[in-house]
Structure formats: C-alpha cells, structure tokens
C-alpha cells in the first residue's frame, strides 16, 4: 500500500517535505480489529504538532492522520458490530483502557492509557489502516467521504469545545482563530443558538471575510477589541498571545475554552497578563483534552440532522506535504482533506 510516512521530527519552516511516500505492507487486523480501506483523511494542525515534536509520535516510522473515512476491507476474529463493506470513520481517540476511573466515568479522553490515531498508532495518510471495531463510527449517508472526514476531529472537538463553554442562547460567543474547527462551530451555533451573536478574531483578512460570509456579526484581528464583552470564547490558535487578548475581551464570569493540544513558541506573551484586566471578576479558563467516543457519535448525529457540511480543500495523498505547509503558513479556508485512491 502507499502511505505518507513520518520518519523523524523536523521543523516545517526548514523542511517542506516532512513526510515520505512509501510502499508498505497492508496491515493485518488482529482480534477485535477491522481493516479499513481509506478513501479520505482530514489534515489537522495536530499533525504539525506531531511533526515538530510538541506531541511527538510514540515511535518512528509513523503514519499520521486521525480524520479517517473508508470502507471495511476485512475483519479480525471476535468482530461482531461491523462487516465487510461498511463505511466507517476513525477519530483522534484510537484506544483507552476502559477500566480506569476516567473511563468508567465516561471521561475516556482523560485516560492515562489514551492512544491517539496517527500518533500512537498508524493513521489514515495511507491506503489502509487497522483499528478496533469499538473505535470506529458509522458515517451518516448524508455526507460524502470527503465531507465526513473533517467532522471526525475538527467537528467533534469543536462540538466538545462548544459544550464546555456552557453557552446559553442569546449570549455572545467569540472564536479566536478561524480554521477547520472554528468554521464548523460557527455553523453549529447558527443552527443551535439562533439568538447568539458570534464574534471572530483572526490574523488573516481572508479568514475574517470567510467568517462574515458564514454569519459572524463581527470579525477583527486577534489584537483588536470586540465591540462588546463576550460571555464565552473558544480559542483554536496554536499561539500564546491570542490567549491574553481573548481574556481581555471576556465578560465578567465568562469562560475561555482553549481548543488546542499544544501551543507553539515561548511564553513571552503571557508576561502581558494583567490580573485585574485579564483574570479578575471570576473569569475561567478551560482546556479541551482529546475527545471521547460519545463526542464523536453525538456530533455525527447532530451534523446529520442539520446537514452540516464543512468547507473543504481536496488534495491527493501524495500532496500531504503541500497541505501541511499551507496549514503552517496560515493558508486556510475551512478544512483540508486528502483524497486517497
């Protein structure tokens, strides 16, 4: 099979081709596992964090990719829930122990043994991959393979982030950064909270224009002040400075939800943090850690009900490096997806 493989850590500024196209054996599904013939895989900023070492792979070589859609090509023994030919998806959560206090409480995203697709096990930048059947999800028929791929991470993690804001309809929501996840959050908000106004902060003029096109009432640079204080803000940026700027735009008693697995660069921006301005008045900061299987299932059902279609840019598998470099340089409109023949 063909696969785009990460063999070592590197800085994308210095290396524009971090992944190597390789021919590898087709994996064999073990007990309880399925073999997936991959048709589409979303490209996520987390792959940049893997490549550049902020959340490095467990081992090398590693096949990245955790927004995977395909059809079941074969099943291992003890598989009962899916059959050959079924269309399923795989998300960031590849495995969890199932027996720790977090798993038993429904918080498997916090499991100490949490494994991530494309970081701790080979992912979807390939023609085939294996996964436990219990960590694969039926894809609603309303979505094409290309449309479904970003829903498995950008959409599901956006859904979890929105839930963690405790937003009530009619309150004001801010979105800092406007990539794959944020543009789906905006679409969700327009559907679920019709009286909520959305304010977007983004460095790119193109991203700000895109946000207004999708229904944001205001869009400004990350350093600008919104016209009103905001009840909740979701940050999806890879940097530290927008955190401080977001806190300055937060209403008293408001909550900032940080939807990022890692932050890039040093902490110099945090030296600007001023307690009375940024944190006082019972402001809260909440991080988002991974996703649970229930997040993915609930979100896919919601997305199907509202016919939530992401904006996508399609690349061939062999163009994965190009797609990653566009993410790195901020060339973003919606989500990027690899089409895998």
One-letter-per-residue 3-state SS of 89-145: EECCEEECCCCCHHHHCCCHHHCCCCEEECCCECCCCECEEEEEHHHCEECCCCCCH
264 Cβ partners below 8 Å, 6+ apart? Answer: 52, 54, 238, 239, 240
- What is the distance between the alpha carbons of residues 6 and 333, in angstroms, rounded to a whole number? 25
Return d(Cα 221, Cα 209) in angstroms, integer. 11
User: What pLDDT is attached to residue 330?
Assistant: 85
Q: What is the H or E stretch that residue 2 is in? A: strand 2-6
* Percentage above 90 pLDDT, the chain: 91
What span, in angstroms and rounded, lies between the C-alpha atoms of 161 and 48? 21
What is the chain's Cα-based Rg?
20
Residues 96-143 have pLDDT tens digits of 999 999 999 999 999 999 999 999 999 999 999 999 999 999 999 999
Print pLDDT tens along the chain (341 aa). 999 999 999 999 888 899 999 999 999 999 999 999 999 999 999 999 999 999 999 999 999 999 999 999 999 999 999 999 999 999 999 999 999 999 999 999 999 999 999 999 999 999 999 999 999 999 999 999 999 999 999 999 999 999 999 999 999 999 999 999 999 999 999 999 999 999 999 999 999 999 999 999 999 999 999 999 999 999 999 999 999 999 999 999 999 999 999 988 777 777 788 899 999 999 999 999 999 999 999 999 999 999 999 999 999 999 999 999 999 998 888 999 999 98
Nearest to 144 by CA among 333, 324, 314: 314
pLDDT score of 73? 98
Q: Are 280 and 210 in contact (CB under 8 A)?
A: no
Q: What is the value of pTM for the model shown?
A: 0.95
DSSP assignments along 211-256, one per residue: HHHHT-SEEE-TTSPPSS-EEEEEE--SSSHHHHHHHHTEEEEEEE
Write out pLDDT tens, residues 286-339.
999 999 999 999 999 999 999 999 999 999 999 999 999 999 998 888 999 999
206: helix, strand or coil: helix
Q: Domains plus CATH for the chain?
A: 2-139+311-339 (3.90.180.10), 157-287 (3.40.50.720)
Instruction: Report helix, strand and coil shares of the chain as percent, to nearest 5.
Output: 30, 25, 45
């Amino acid at each position: 099979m063909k696969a785009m493989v990460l063999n070592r850590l590197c800085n994308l500024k210095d290396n524009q081709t971090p992944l190597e196209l390789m021919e590898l054996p087709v994996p064999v599904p073990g007990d309880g596992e399925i073999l997936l013939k991959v048709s589409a895989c979303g490209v996520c900023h987390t792959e940049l964090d893997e490549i550049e070492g902020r959340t490095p792979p467990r081992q090398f070589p590693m096949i990245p990719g955790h927004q995977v859609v395909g059809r079941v090509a074969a099943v291992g023994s003890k598989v009962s829930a899916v059959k050959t030919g079924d269309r399923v998806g795989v998300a960031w959560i590849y495995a969890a122990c199932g027996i720790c206090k977090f798993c038993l409480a429904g918080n498997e995203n916090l499991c100490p043994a949490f494994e991530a697709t494309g970081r701790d096990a080979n992912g979807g930048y390939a023609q085939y991959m294996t996964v436990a059947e219990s960590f694969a999800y039926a894809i609603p028929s309303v979505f094409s393979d290309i449309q479904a791929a970003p829903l498995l991470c950008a959409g599901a993690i956006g859904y979890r982030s929105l839930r963690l804001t405790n937003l009530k309809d009619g309150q004001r929501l801010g979105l800092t950064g406007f990539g794959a996840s944020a543009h789906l959050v905006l679409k969700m908000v327009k559907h679920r909270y019709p009286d909520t106004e959305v304010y977007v902060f983004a460095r790119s003029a193109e991203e700000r224009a895109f946000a207004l096109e999708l229904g944001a009432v205001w869009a400004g640079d990350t350093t600008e002040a919104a016209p009103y204080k905001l009840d909740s803000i979701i940050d999806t940026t890879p940097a530290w400075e927008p955190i401080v700027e977001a806190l300055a735009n937060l209403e008293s008693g408001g909550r900032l939800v940080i939807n990022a697995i890692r932050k890039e660069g040093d902490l110099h921006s945090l030296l600007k943090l001023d307690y009375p301005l940024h944190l006082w008045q019972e402001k809260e900061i909440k991080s988002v850690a991974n996703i649970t299987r229930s997040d993915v299932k609930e979100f896919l059902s919601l997305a199907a009900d509202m016919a939530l279609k992401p904006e996508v840019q399609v690349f061939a598998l062999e163009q994965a490096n190009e797609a990653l470099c566009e993410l790195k340089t901020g060339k973003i409109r919606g989500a990027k997806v690899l089409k895998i023949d």
